[in-house]
Chains A and B, each alone.
Chain A
């Protein structure tokens, strides 16, 4: 066997003066860090991923986890990460896997954009006493409305009445512009999905199924669920398509643009197998492209086939990763009968992605939203199709900025998981999530109580919704509709001219 040359990343210490040997940590750690050895707890630091489960659960506050401060010879080019990756690949000869989003220190443009506010002229609005409209409709909008005028006699008088002639396409009605992103059952546990489903129902918004099908316990929430069709077509049948409120075709994903998905066979348990409709224990492979899509026309064909299958009653979204060509693709999507384009930025999370993709492929969501919005406007299509942004949205200000840059609504993924307790430890792909979120092991899954989970997620969405109302008020706007694409409300700080140009915003002080 080739030995590992990698020292432990973290140092786990149990303070013997505080520890009462209850052994809770030995049970809580699904990675097997802690073990009782006689009258003490010993910890294998090299197994620790800093998921904090033991720290939080220890009744005596006896555990500390620190970054392992061993000295590496410092080097500006050969940082520790680069060396560790090489050690690991030299040992295995394999592709490095990782979870969660991009872990490189790329600029976060959201943090270089500030919001403008009103003072004196055009005064700000107090959302505590004035209504703030956050209702958002996602779906196709008609280019214009046409009416038939029919003459009717009312009380002996002839009155012309207008009747709407234009057929309005089905739209999703959101009480807040925040939805929960597509994360598959398989990558996430049933209790995580149940938490999301209960929360979105309570908040009047929607969640996505991801590509893993719709598990039966989620059926009662189906009117708040968007089902996904990915290249693997797992769990996709007529019933599935009819169940949800909308359908999303997944072309790409921000965390791994250009590649498919892969749920390893050992995670395909009986329940996952039933939901995905594949035999237990086989790999669930979603190849990079949809096999029947090689052009925008082919994509249009899939959009239409899904509409046919659902009798043109459900909106169909198309999700692509944020790539430099996204604006042109979005135009194609807009002309394909699709109702919304979803752009997923490269900071978006994932259960498992090759590290090289997670950290190096894709473009920032901020740029992509602005560029897509701009291009759709130029083509005269922006008001016909909705734009949903996702990938690295961490707070209500990010939501606000995304909408001001041109999105109709956002999807949150990692943020919703963090609300459930996720520590962004990045080891979701091991299936051992100690928080019961990214796992299928029954003993771990039951650690997450769906009622508690739903409360936390609903609280988060409600808190952000309140904050968005306050931010709108400060901007002197009383409806989210007026914020969409309203880049005049944004200013850049520390951005160069080109970046400001792509974002379509002015510099602070301008």
Chain B
């Protein structure tokens, strides 16, 4: 079952209440289509229904899919800041770009952004048991990517909308305070672009195997050609990972000296 809502001029509370009402009244609903979305926040906040897809036409406001656990959200447009904030599970697919703190503190699920992401994206992403969050960025990321990252995977594909290379990424302070997970960036990164606690590690075959399914999924979502996919998979990748699981362990004095 599919339901459509015209969100034109609707307050975010009203829109989100409508979504809850639909889910309450029609447990079989599989798809909710939101038309004319313009800045309404918290869409999908805390939703738990695994087999639900929310398609958004327009630009959703901040904290899209925050605390969400299960559903898929597809955005035909850009998204504001913090899509996937503290998300537990599910998928967010953004056809345009997204703002700062994309995938903040995400614990599980996947976020695919076709365009660019803003500052501090993937910050404090964490993993737990089978929950390993993934953020795949088609374009580029601004500074502080993966700051305080405690788990999960961030992949930066570094291509424009046609699939052409964007050139060396300029972000600074990548992985500041990182103590878990890994950031994969297509292309080269200078050491001085890294933040404290981050290190450039050898990109191995296992790493490629690990990121391959996500790149394939990305290509599928955004309909990218086989050529582009192969180019992505056969590029030079830089892996950024923590120096240690305990980056600040030596900062403090032990007791009783």
Contact = CB atoms under 8 A, between A and B. Distances in A.
B249 A278 contact: no
Interface in B70-125: 81-82, 85-86, 88, 101, 104-105, 107, 120, 123-124
A305 B45 CA distance: 7
Interface residues of B, number: 50
Contacts of A6: 257
Interface of A: 4, 6, 31, 46-47, 49, 88-89, 91-92, 94-97, 231-233, 236-238, 241, 262, 264-265, 273, 277-279, 281-283, 285, 287, 291-292, 301, 304-305, 308-312, 354, 427, 429-430
Interface in B1-21: 13, 16, 20
Contact of A305 (B41, B101, B128, B253): B41
B16 A283 contact: no
Given A92-B254, A278-B150, 20 more contacts: A4-B257, A95-B251, A97-B252, A97-B255, A233-B105, A238-B88, A241-B67, A264-B246, A265-B249, A278-B127, A279-B127, A279-B180, A281-B245, A282-B179, A282-B245, A283-B249, A291-B101, A291-B147, A305-B63, A310-B46
Contacts of B255: 49, 97, 427, 429-430
Interface in B26-82: 41-42, 45-46, 48, 62-63, 66-67, 69, 81-82
B179 A285 contact: yes
A429 B257 CA distance: 15
Given A31-B256, A89-B253, A291-B101, A233 B180 contact: no
The secondary-structure label for the interface of chain B is loop
A292 B179 CA distance: 20
A31 B256 CA distance: 9
A430 B105 CA distance: 28
A236 B251 contact: no
A430 B127 CA distance: 26
Given A287-B177, A301-B41, A305-B45, A46 B256 contact: yes
A429 B151 CA distance: 25
B187 interface: no
Interface of B: 13, 16, 20, 41-42, 45-46, 48, 62-63, 66-67, 69, 81-82, 85-86, 88, 101, 104-105, 107, 120, 123-124, 126-129, 131, 147-148, 150-151, 177, 179-180, 245-257
A386 B128 CA distance: 36
A314 to B, nearest CB: 12
B46 A238 contact: yes
B42 A305 contact: yes
B128 A278 contact: yes
B66 A291 contact: no
29 contacts: A4-B257, A6-B257, A92-B257, A95-B251, A233-B126, A238-B46, A262-B248, A265-B245, A277-B107, A278-B126, A278-B127, A278-B128, A278-B150, A278-B151, A282-B180, A283-B150, A283-B248, A291-B124, A291-B148, A292-B82, A292-B104, A304-B42, A305-B45, A308-B42, A308-B45, A309-B66, A312-B13, A354-B252, A430-B255
Of A92, A236, A305, the most chain B CB neighbours within 10 A belong to A305
A291 B120 contact: yes
A282 B253 contact: no
B86 A236 contact: yes
Contact of B246 (A91, A265, A291): A265
Contacts of B67: 236-238, 241, 305, 309
